[in-house]
Structure 1
Amino acid sequence: MRVFTSDKIRNVVLLGHGGSGKTSLAESMAYLSGLKDKAGSVEAGNTISDYDGVEKKHKFSVHLSLLPLIWGETKINLLDTPGYPDFVGEVEEAVSVADAAVIVVSGKNGIEVGTRKAWNLCEKYHLPRIIFVTDMDIDEASYRQVIEDLQALYGKKIAPFHLPIRENGQFVGYVNIIQQKAKRWNATGGIDKMDVPDYSYENLDQFREVLLEAVAETSETYMDRYFNGDTFSEDEIRQAMRVSVIDGSVVPVMMGSNLSHRGMYTLMADIVKYFPSPDRRSCVGIDPKTNEAFEADYDFSKPKSAYVFKTLVDPFVGQYSMIKVNSGVLKTDDLLYNAGRDREDKIGKIYLLTGSKAQEVSELHAGDIGALSRVADLSTGDSLSTRAHPVTYLRPVISKPYCYLAYQAEKSGDDDKLQQALQKIAREDLTLRTQGDPANHQSLIYGISRAHLELIAEILADKYKLTMLLDKPLVAYRETILGKSDVEYKHKKQTGGHGQYGHVKMTFEPSGDLSVPFVFEEKVVGGSVPKNYFPAVEKGLAERVLEGPLAGYPIYGVKATLYDGSYHPVDSSEAAFKTAASMAMKEGILQAKPILLEPIASLEVTVADERIGDVMGDLNKRRGRVMSLDPVEGGYQVVRAEVPYSALYEYGTNLRSLTSGDASYCYEFLRYDPCPADVQEAQISIRSAQNA
């Protein structure tokens, strides 16, 4: 593929609800632009975008993929993204390097949760956008209803560029609102002129007026002309539209059929006409030496710099680091500096990725997207520049995972292999992480949802031939005491030679600090227990608090005081006093009103107004305490509540079901509280059965 300069590049991300037709649209665009000789389909599993085995099996996108399309003299870097929220990290990575977006809406299904989320992402990243309505070849598709729903949500900025023409239930053509002309597709795929149907004039006049208002608002001169009843030429309208689309004050709506490849010519032409090239966008980094801003702005004349926005790891090919060039021109074998890791490396070859296929190129200009291979220690979020002009860029904000499950390898001998494979997948997927839970002797894996984690298990089986078992995680309960006890324990053994003798008298009571296991004090008078055995007593306590006598959970919040005891000049030892202290604590805890503590989370749920009752009712069932209810923009409210961790299992799945996916949640650890009696009894029974 030839080299393109910054002004001839468009970086466009496809966004929308799962199943709205993004991958099919990308496939159609790839076919019409000449990237493919024949269009594939999601059903057949032969699209460029969904190349992974798991994607082909499930028939939906899991990873973002890049399609460099050539349309005339312009290169469109099309970023196809998953529509399901389980893979939101892929979407966030793609959006971080896009300069514009096409939001795909199914004409049959209409506005869905994913549509609104896509819009909000564009707002967050200030992305110009076009809405493309698919499925227009389906009888149930209603373009008019989609327009009305969009205008109800987003107001006058929604500007339809086209109207569909149907004959005998067939999608045969469209009316161009700017030109006020109708066109029909012919058998060769081209278009023929036709008269505007009578039934289209009402909508044509209405939607054209919206366009003219948008044109008028681009300048005072145009505003005066509009109020004076003057008309605008097609060129004036298109120029004003370009300004308005780029600043987000107008969002064009277009439509077509992915399967019959109708509407894509116009879409790609309008992407080139109305979307900005990278050099029309701002991009700012920081010079780590001076802490001053570096305005890269995708300027090819400035010192070269790039940003790694995505990592791809293949068990056979190795690692690709997908980059966007933020300034300068990157060339093969350039020596680039990674300021975050303080190392300089020759980047070797530069690639363009087309789905899973890599093609070498000699250089990439500012604003272009490509990939590097086998650059040491390069990870998502890293910045590349030169040592003479170091630059670092802000890392993308990736959603934090809150759903977690216990996991283990099916075969005990595969534990190390499983960990290595998960580390590789986590380099690709920043919404995945693992951690240990020593209190419950389990390993935990965190993801966006249970569906996300189950798919990770499938990827492990497909790519790495490893089986990962997922299970309900154990809750990290703790044990403490409410009362005070005074115990005496004598550890005495005689085995023929030196015996064992350790004798302690101790009190146990609440320390008042549940964040530390225990506090140890000694108040021994008269040397009944020599000072050199005090550390042994403390060690015995430290071992005992790891597993409490009530249900085997760690002990927290106990004050242990050694006040008396005795020793034997020959048989006493550190080991003997260590054992005596441990056993004294076991008895002392049982005599001091032991209870279980459960972890409590501070939970925030953002939910649409109409779903608020369902969410609050569900929280009550989970022993949640609603602390506040605060309205936010867009018809949503934030519910803040305190909820036991045990009630958070499968919460994300349940919340999605309750709200049809129109809610999000996050939480963090707050404190430990005493368990209700029924919960405590249940846990003691479970642990007793496990240890039986």
Structure 2
Amino acid sequence: MKIYDDKHIKNVVFVGAHNSGKTTLAETMLFEAGLINRRGTVEGKNTVADYHEIEHEKGNSVFATPLHTEWRNYKINIIDTPGLDDYIGEIISSIRVADTIVTVLNGQYGVEVGTEIIWNYINKYHKPTVFVINQIDHPGLNFENSFKSITSLVGNNAVKIQYPLIVDGAQCIIDVLKMKMYKFSSEGGKPQKLSIPDDQKETANVLHNELVEKAAENDEELMELFFEKGTLSEDEMRKGIKAGMLNYDLFPVFCMSALNDMGSGRLMGFIDNVAPSAGDLKSEQSVEGKEIIPEKDKTPVLFVFKTVHQPNLGQITFFKVKSGEVKVNDKLVNQRNGEMEVLNQLFIMDGKERNPVQKLTVGDIGATLKLKYTETNDTLSSQDSQLTVKPIQYPQTRIRRAVFAENSKDEEKLSDALKKIRSQDPTVEITFSNESRQMILACQGELHLNTIDWLLKNIYGVDARFERPKISFRETIQRAAASNYRHKKQSGGSGQFAEVHLKIEPWKEGMPEPEGFNIRGKEEVDLPWGGKLVFYNCIVGGVIDQRYLPSIMKGILEVMEEGPLTGSYIRDVRVMVYDGKMHSVDSNDISFKIAGAHAFKEAFLNANPKLLEPTLNLTVKVPEDMVGNVMTELQTRRAIIQGIESSDHHQILKCIAPEAALYGFSTDLRSQTKGRATFKTQFNGYQAVPPNIQNELVNKKELVK
């Protein structure tokens, strides 16, 4: 396979809403370049990009798929991405390594919710972007509305390169950069290049002049030429368009029918001649604050943006060469863990097809097999380089489920499978809650969860069950209470005897020391689950030997690990042990531990105990016209709105909400707002559960007993 330099490598990612035609466009471009003999279709389940069994079953892209094509001495690396934001991790990873974003729109609908969500990430990275209005030959096409929706998204920096036209019943495209009309047969393919019809010349000239002005605005030399000549040549315009794209000040708009192969060749030509390459982009700053220079004679730096686990191959690692060159059998160090990796094989990937190569140069995208210590977001470079590419920041998870193996014998198998899924998809989080004794899976939504379930069953052979996670409640007290307990047991020989008198009170930071006690010692315990136990030794006259006090505290801590209300952890209590009795023969550590536990439990139940629930800081960004419904939804979930801010035709609602009441919120919010609202959460603290809910939870615990 031919090796291209960084000036002749173009990395583009196709993004867009579901059913906009990204996979079809990728297939058509491979066909146009002669890399495949016939075009597959999504419906026919035979495209190069959508090759996974799950994609055939669901009828849409689930994974980002790297491909490549070659067009007029340029190599175009294409990454075809899913259109559903449940798979946002695949989209973000692809945007991160692309040099140019191709945003595909369904010409019937223009910018859709999915487009808006993806645009937020394009905007974050400031990547050069081309818009493609697809399906121009569909009866429902509304080109002008689609273009207006682009300007609503990016402003007046969107500029038409093309617009569609029907001439004598044939589909045509007017190109105002080349000032030509392309006329297509019903089969598509290579068009006739014709002069622009007389009735379109005025419109085309207006658009051409707008394009000239936009191109000139981005380069001082071009601006001088424009003032001098009143126009620019096609080559000068290309230079200005590229500069505008790099400055994030110009967004070219094309049109096509990917399905019927109308306009794809022209888009490929534009990507070749105009779209920025890796060598055109600014150097990146490493985590260490050093410059990663994209030149082939520099030390090799590889950034891993995707990991795939395939049963027959093992781990496939996808990377972009950020600097230098990499060759087969090169040894590079993982900058995260210091482990050495050997690149025994290098590939250019086209879907599931692997094309071996001997080396890859800066700017290129490739893959290797069976790395032992490397995951997504890792950097591989030479041992002395100490260059780490800044990692991809993935969005917060939106739903959580407890996951169990249907067959208890498969628990270890389930755990191993989830680790591989997490390795492949960093937007999945797997944790184990010691408190609830549950494995918790967090992901992006119900569709994402269904995909994980499918992978567990069909790839890893594990039947899993998903349930609502247990909420980590806490128990505490609202007033002081005293209690005493005598533990006495005689069963032949030495027996057990201990008597403990204690008083408990609610604890809070900065409160004065307890009154009425002769305090002999104090121990503060920072509890692993939050809050404190403050334990006072107030024993006078040696009625309990000092050596038994640790046992009393141990008994109290055991009760605190499983509170009497709901079995939840107890927090924020102080205990004063002030009296008791012991026996010279029968008293021992276990006796005082038991007596301390019983005395504490009895006092706790008499101290007006209350249940605390975890609350979250909840921020919801919702379109202005949907605020009312969302606020009603929040109120039904016991959320307290703290403030409202405005931002870009959206309202940002800042709330505090109980974690228990937010179960299913992601799904309901998406349904109510058609996916246009987003939210994020952060742990806030613990607040008292309303009395009616506390009673329900306590009664439920009693029924379990």
- Taking structure 1 as the reference length, the TM-score comes to 0.95
Q: Find the aligned partners of 2:29 and 2:351 in 1 and give their Cα distance.
A: 14
Shift of 1:8: 1.0
Residue in 2 aligned with 1:655? 669
Q: Find the aligned partners of 1:200 and 1:311 in 2 and give their Cα distance.
A: 50
CA pair 687-41 structure 1, distance change in 2 beyond 3 A: farther
Shift of 1:225: 6.3
Q: Secondary structure at the match of 1:464?
A: coil
Q: Secondary structure at the match of 1:457?
A: helix
CA pair 196-361 structure 1, distance change in 2 beyond 3 A: same
Residue in 1 aligned with 2:654? 640
Instruction: Give the counterpart letter for 2:216 in structure 1.
Output: A
Q: Secondary structure at the match of 2:570?
A: coil
Q: Deviations over 1:382-428 (max 9, x none)?
A: 21111233321111111121321111111100000000010011011
Instruction: Give the counterpart letter for 1:588 in structure 2.
Output: A
Residue in 2 aligned with 1:181? 180
Residue in 1 aligned with 2:588? 573
Q: Secondary structure at the match of 1:443?
A: strand
Q: Find the aligned partners of 1:167 and 1:533 in 2 and give their Cα distance.
A: 98
Q: Secondary structure at the match of 1:503?
A: strand
Residue in 2 aligned with 1:625? 640
Q: Which runs of 5+ in 2 are unaligned?
A: 510-526
Aligned ranges 1:221-370 → 2 under 5 Å: 222-223=222-223, 230-286=230-286, 293-296=290-293, 298-370=294-366
Aligned partner of 1:472 among 468, 471, 490 = 468
Shift of 1:254: 0.9
Instruction: Give the counterpart letter for 1:293 in structure 2.
Output: K
Aligned partner of 1:485 among 462, 472, 481 = 481
Residue in 2 aligned with 1:601? 616
Once structures 1 and 2 are overlaid, which stretch shifts more, 359-368 or 221-230? 221-230
Q: Find the aligned partners of 1:277 and 1:503 in 2 and give their Cα distance.
A: 81
Shift of 1:286: 4.1
Q: Find the aligned partners of 1:203 and 1:34 in 2 and give their Cα distance.
A: 35
Q: Secondary structure at the match of 1:249?
A: coil
Q: Deviations over 1:185-244 (max 9, x none)?
A: 135732224454566456424422321321332445654665688343333333322322
Q: Which runs of 5+ in 1 are unaligned?
A: none
Tell me if 1:503 matches 2:518. no
Q: Find the aligned partners of 1:17 and 1:273 in 2 and give their Cα distance.
A: 27
Tell me if 1:101 matches 2:101. yes
Q: Deviations over 1:238-271 (max 9, x none)?
A: 3322322332322111111122111111111111
Q: Secondary structure at the match of 1:391?
A: coil
Q: Secondary structure at the match of 1:389?
A: coil
Q: Find the aligned partners of 1:14 and 1:217 in 2 and give their Cα distance.
A: 27
Q: Deviations over 1:561-611 (max 9, x none)?
A: 211111122221211111111111221111110111111111111222222
2:61–2:83 CA contact under 8 A, matched in 1: yes
Once structures 1 and 2 are overlaid, which stretch shifts more, 197-206 or 349-358? 197-206
Q: Find the aligned partners of 2:570 and 2:457 in 1 and give their Cα distance.
A: 39
2:414–2:462 CA contact under 8 A, matched in 1: yes
Q: Secondary structure at the match of 1:96?
A: helix
Instruction: Give the counterpart letter for 1:161 in structure 2.
Output: I
Residue in 1 aligned with 2:58? 58
Q: Find the aligned partners of 1:683 and 1:188 in 2 and give their Cα distance.
A: 66
2:403–2:466 CA contact under 8 A, matched in 1: yes
2:216–2:237 CA contact under 8 A, matched in 1: no
Shift of 1:78: 0.3
Q: Secondary structure at the match of 1:259?
A: coil
1:325–1:366 CA contact under 8 A, matched in 2: yes
Residue in 2 aligned with 1:461? 457
Once structures 1 and 2 are overlaid, which stretch shifts more, 245-254 or 429-438? 245-254
Superposition CA RMSD, Å = 2.0
1:163–1:204 CA contact under 8 A, matched in 2: no
Q: Find the aligned partners of 1:510 and 1:622 in 2 and give their Cα distance.
A: 29
Residue in 2 aligned with 1:21? 21
Instruction: Give the counterpart letter for 2:654 in structure 1.
Output: R
Percent identity, aligned pairs only, is: 32
1:300–1:366 CA contact under 8 A, matched in 2: yes
Shift of 1:132: 0.8
1:517–1:545 CA contact under 8 A, matched in 2: no
1:54–1:462 CA contact under 8 A, matched in 2: no
Shift of 1:494: 1.4
Once structures 1 and 2 are overlaid, which stretch shifts more, 332-341 or 479-488? 332-341
Residue in 2 aligned with 1:379? 375
CA pair 382-153 structure 1, distance change in 2 beyond 3 A: closer
Residue in 2 aligned with 1:410? 406
Q: Find the aligned partners of 2:238 and 2:577 in 1 and give their Cα distance.
A: 86
Instruction: Give the counterpart letter for 1:393 in structure 2.
Output: V
Q: Deviations over 1:75-113 (max 9, x none)?
A: 111011111111111111111111111000000122112
Residue in 1 aligned with 2:524? none
Q: Find the aligned partners of 1:181 and 1:336 in 2 and give their Cα distance.
A: 50
1:66–1:80 CA contact under 8 A, matched in 2: yes
- Taking structure 2 as the reference length, the TM-score comes to 0.93
1:517–1:555 CA contact under 8 A, matched in 2: no
Q: Deviations over 1:309-341 (max 9, x none)?
A: 111112331111111111111011112122322
Residue in 2 aligned with 1:82? 82
Q: Deviations over 1:445-501 (max 9, x none)?
A: 111123212221111111001111111122111111101111111111111222221
Aligned ranges 1:586-597 → 2 under 5 Å: 586-597=601-612
Q: Find the aligned partners of 1:280 and 1:227 in 2 and give their Cα distance.
A: 27
Once structures 1 and 2 are overlaid, which stretch shifts more, 212-221 or 474-483? 212-221
Q: Find the aligned partners of 2:270 and 2:39 in 1 and give their Cα distance.
A: 22
Q: Find the aligned partners of 1:227 and 1:359 in 2 and give their Cα distance.
A: 50
1:278–1:367 CA contact under 8 A, matched in 2: yes
1:40–1:46 CA contact under 8 A, matched in 2: yes
2:331–2:340 CA contact under 8 A, matched in 1: yes
Instruction: Give the counterpart letter for 1:385 in structure 2.
Output: S
Q: Deviations over 1:492-533 (max 9, x none)?
A: 111122222121111111112693252222211111111111
Q: Deviations over 1:605-658 (max 9, x none)?
A: 1222222222222212211111122223x3233221111111211111112122
CA pair 240-141 structure 1, distance change in 2 beyond 3 A: same
Residue in 2 aligned with 1:401? 397
Q: Find the aligned partners of 1:311 and 1:502 in 2 and give their Cα distance.
A: 61
Once structures 1 and 2 are overlaid, which stretch shifts more, 118-127 or 486-495? 118-127
Residue in 2 aligned with 1:688? 702
Q: Find the aligned partners of 1:153 and 1:342 in 2 and give their Cα distance.
A: 43
CA pair 79-649 structure 1, distance change in 2 beyond 3 A: same
Once structures 1 and 2 are overlaid, which stretch shifts more, 667-676 or 490-499? 490-499
Q: Secondary structure at the match of 1:25?
A: helix
1:246–1:274 CA contact under 8 A, matched in 2: no
Q: Find the aligned partners of 2:579 and 2:307 in 1 and give their Cα distance.
A: 63
1:53–1:462 CA contact under 8 A, matched in 2: no
Q: Find the aligned partners of 2:188 and 2:370 in 1 and give their Cα distance.
A: 46
Q: Secondary structure at the match of 2:60?
A: coil
Shift of 1:20: 1.3
Q: Find the aligned partners of 2:698 and 2:590 in 1 and give their Cα distance.
A: 31
